[in-house]
Structure 1
Amino acid sequence: MSNGDFAGLVAAVTGGASGIGLATAQLLAQRGATVAVLDLKPDNVDAPLRGIVCDVSDDDSVRDAIGEVVGRHGALDILVNNAGIGAQGSVEDNSDAEWQRVFDVNVIGMVRASRAALPHLRRSAHAAIVNTCSIAATAGLPQRALYSASKGAVLALTRAMAADHLREGIRVNCVTPGTADTPWIDRLLSVAPDPAAERAALEARQPHGRLVRADEVAAAIAYLASPAAGSTTGVDLAVDGGMAGLRLRPAGQ
């Protein structure tokens, strides 16, 4: 992969105004893509990125945003479904309304964006969809029942979409980050009784001993979206410091 491997391609990144989404949008642009950031609040997005207001929980908003991307740039080659919200608690701790709200954004939001993008992706020679999933889809994490369920659905959706659209020339993959150093984690830490201890605990549960950086996840997304990954589809690529697969002895043993 090089700085020009996305030259001539148009990408849309949902939830692209901060965290993993912003890092991804910036990296795709650095590598030559024309990138539209679809976000509730894209005001802080700087050129060459173009911010477009988009609410993934509203189908009209999503269709309008995708239509604006295609209307301005004439094509859409890559969709990064990154928009999402968090949730804490066991299965008892959230109401039906909160379950519906999180699934509406984290799962159906990806459905809305993909549905709006597919007619345009079918016309691309290098069409790719990359969904942001989570280690929570594959590992049982405490106090994350709702969030984990939504990301488990994203993993299953990714594989089903990959099967549905492979013969149309559209690759569909996802990344499964470990706990990433993002604004959402910062907000969780800010309300913890002991933020330093909570951060240390989050770092310690990942075998490499630290939080995942947003730019590391962005690099994985860029690989999956790149024409260089033309034989890669239906894959969940872990960026988790070994959390999914490694079982290390305690340090010093």
Structure 2
Amino acid sequence: MTHDKVLFAVHTPIPSSSSKSFLRSYKQARRRDDSSGIVSYGTTDSETVYQTMVGKPTANKACELVLAELPFNEFTPSGQCKYRRTLVQSFLFKFYLYVCSKLWQTLVEQKHMSAVYIYRRSVSHGQQTIHERSLIHRVVSVALLHGSAYVQMTGEAKYMNDLPLLSNTLYAEFLLSTEPHARITNIDTETAPPLSGFVSFINHTDVPSSNMTGILVHDEEVFASCVVPYVGAIIDLVICDSEQTANIAAHLIQIDYEF
């Protein structure tokens, strides 16, 4: 499709009801009416879906086949690749339950069948009434108006994404530990510098004073220098001239651990 074309409809042929074929589509978004879904998934199959999905090993194999067709990785736009892959597996299982309900099969536990039906609830809402008061009135136990309430209600509040970018803005990406408790034996940073837009990376050797931090007792490192204590511990900070380049550079750096 060329750049000057607009896709406004997709027509999917629906099999006749006599063939016992089923067609379902699923979507997961941050809000019910959000047009931008985290995952949109459609599936169709005949009565054989029930036969091929019976049994845990076969069901797991079906999930593996579906995931093999989804190129989710760390470079996927909007991220959340593991969460989105999990959603797809959930949708496949939900479709299986739907087929079972239509075929009146009873091999699935009844507690799982609630996933077949659409969940509906009333729209959440809330309010707070702030009464006017003079300055001489007491403050304790009196509801106070939030300092930014007016600008938020009128849309005048400024958020980080509303601020214009400064010239020569740099972006940072954390390089985090993938192991729960291991010793760092080597950090290969040679693959990051050749990237266009790469500026530098920062680790424990670049901290000007002490690399230790903590709320009451300084017993935790800012940048892990030798041993990572948990998954997600900060090891390096990659600096680039764009957010995308920083993300790619952080994933190119290889870390070797000793357990």
Q: TM-score, normalised by structure 2?
A: 0.25
Larger RCO (alpha carbons 8 Å, 6+ apart): 1
Indicate the structure with greater helix content.
1
Q: TM-score, normalised by structure 1?
A: 0.25
Indicate the structure with greater strand content.
2
